[in-house]
Structure 1
Amino acid sequence: MNSLCDELKELVVDTLALEDVTWAEIETEAPLFGDGLDLDSIDALEIAMAIEEKYGVTLGDDPDQNQKIFVSIKTLADFVLGSS
């Protein structure tokens, strides 16, 4: 699980070309939106596409469920593990 979380942190940094944060600085349970990395819906779409490409898992059409998946790196990892 920890290695998957680290992979997802790297994926977020690389996909969004974040220059002011490294993957090692991202806390696994820190919020991705708001006070955390301050991502927006476009960022979420880019991450979702990168996750689909790398892990072969696709998010559904339920916005409430997707919002729960994108709470943190940990919830993203739980989704990837549960979908593979």
Structure 2
Amino acid sequence: MSDLNNRVKEVIIESLELEDVTPADIVDSAPIFGKNEKGEGLGLDSIDALELGIAIKEKFGVSFSSVKEEAKKHFASVDTLSAYIAEHTEG
């Protein structure tokens, strides 16, 4: 899943134009939205969520539930997002 995690990180960085962030800067288990108790996480907001959802759909061909809580759990971290993509794509 490491390769997929890196691809997801690249999509996050490119789609949200995070200029000073590299894939190595993003902790796989850290929150994509907000920060954890260690201060890890990207701290993204709801506008970022919409842009990221569209970019993930275009890049990986997956769709997300319109149920906010269900979609939210898939976007919890790079690990959870990669797991969802792996489960819903071929190859």
TM-score, scaled relative to structure 1: 0.95
Paired residue total: 84
Structure-2 residue corresponding to 1:65: 70
Structure-1 residue corresponding to 2:81: 76
Q: In the TM superposition, what whole-angstrom CA distance separates every residue of 1:14-49 from its partner, at most 9, and x where no partner exists?
A: 100001221211011011111110001111111111
Identity of aligned residues (%): 44
Q: Give me the whole-angstrom Cα distance separating, in 2, the residues matched to 1:57 and 1:31.
A: 20
Q: Give me the whole-angstrom Cα distance separating, in 2, the residues matched to 1:55 and 1:78.
A: 12
Structure-1 residue corresponding to 2:18: 18
The runs of 5 or more residues in structure 2 that have no matched partner are 36-40
| Partner of residue 45 from structure 2, selected from 40, 44, 47 | 40
**Aligned with 2:28: secondary structure?**
coil
Q: In the TM superposition, what is the alpha-carbon distance from 1:81 to its structure 2 partner?
A: 0.8
Structure-2 residue corresponding to 1:55: 60
Letter in structure 2 aligned against 1:80 = I
Q: Give me the whole-angstrom Cα distance separating, in 1, the residues matched to 2:56 and 2:42.
A: 18
The runs of 5 or more residues in structure 1 that have no matched partner are none
Q: Structure 1 or 2: larger helix share?
A: 1
TM-score, scaled relative to structure 2: 0.88
Letter in structure 2 aligned against 1:28 = D
Moved segments of 4+, more than 4 Å: none
